[in-house]
Chains A and B, each alone.
Chain A
């Protein structure tokens, strides 16, 4: 397989703006080309769009708006992990030799139809994500004797880290009391435990090894990919206090990169809700079952940004189709020592965890300098 590297990216602030999806897509693509003037748009072989928006033919539309005539142009949708699914598709095109350079753009509106999986009738009238998150939270708290106050640290930490991210939706810090006193959505979930849907866009360019070395002095290599889909329906999960698809995807990605979780210097974790962060850390092997909050507490107390340096989904906002790409951009910036006040100390290996629909599907990427 050909080696695949990240050679450029563009991202714009996540907002609550009411804009057309086509304009949102162009926002970050424009930013990408402005910041990477060595990239010749005539050399782009494929344009992949990641979104849950119902508008059609968005990749050819973005291509036309950006002055690109690609060989391959299509949309990829997989709810909340559409972004990393697009990166995996682009990786495959390049690794197989079908393409040399690919633009991937993820975008979403604040009112994305991808927030509710209408098909999943086993949830009865409880189709909104806050209900699966409540079941996860209750189950996790029950199994490991964790309190609401302990889980609230995830939100406190990630909002604190988002304050250093100029593109984050949130610009406020909160205390544990603020989280506990925020609007109670269910017995097990407060408003500040949740990531918020928003309008946002993120673009990234992947290239073959030769092309990457021509275009940048600091390519970041994708060295591990793992994906697993265990079901589509929430109630088919085998556990409600751990994430099976994340565990399997993580193992595959780390094995491909010949790494283990101890080698990871910085990671973006899909914290759609507070409880997801410790569950994912445990499923990825960063901590044993039930001890994820110990790790999160220690990172928070020492002001270490190793996990979710951009503020995660809770702090940054969650524009579904853009999220996986924004996570990958963050790890790229970290590995290039270009993350400003969020920079962790000299990272060499990073990990991205992006998942869909109550962890029924997960993607894990390993990135290296």
Chain B
């Protein structure tokens, strides 16, 4: 079970080192701190909107999870800085990750 195989099934897990417990992001097989084996932590996770912009009618935002991971995600309503959000949809499309938050 890898981060990408779960993401491909529409599930967002957080990769964490089994030895030092550090979150490993971007997802990798081994920890970039102690080279320990990485396992996947199950959600749901609450994120916080750090910044946002908009292309045409689509808002996109920079969201932080666990005070560590930051991703860029779609959001349908006008975002607010500091707003708490959850991942509502995610996956891999033509090789690219995609995330949506509400």
- Which A residues have a C-beta under 8 Å from some C-beta of B? 118, 120-127, 131, 134-135, 137-139, 142, 185-189, 233, 235-236, 240
Contact = CB atoms under 8 A, between A and B. Distances in A.
B52 A124 contact: no
B99 interface: yes
B79 to A, nearest CB: 11
Interface in B19-64: 25-26, 50-55, 60, 62
10 contacts: A124-B71, A124-B97, A124-B98, A125-B98, A135-B51, A135-B52, A138-B52, A186-B54, A233-B26, A236-B70
A235 B70 CA distance: 5
B8 to A, nearest CB: 12
A131 B51 contact: no
Interface string B59-99: 01010000001111110000001000000000001011111
A127 B26 contact: no
Given A124-B98, A124-B99, A125-B93, A186 B72 contact: no
Contact of A131 (B60, B81, B98): B60
Contacts of A236: 70
A122 B54 contact: no
Interface residues of B, number: 23
Given A189-B53, A235-B70, A240-B51, 9 more contacts: A121-B96, A124-B71, A125-B74, A125-B98, A137-B53, A139-B51, A187-B53, A187-B54, A235-B72
Contact of A122 (B26, B55, B60): B26
A123 B52 contact: no
A236 B97 CA distance: 17
Contacts of B25: 122
A135 to B, nearest CB: 5
A120 B70 CA distance: 12
B70 A122 contact: yes
Given A121-B26, A121-B96, A240-B62, A134 B70 contact: no
Nearest to B60: A126
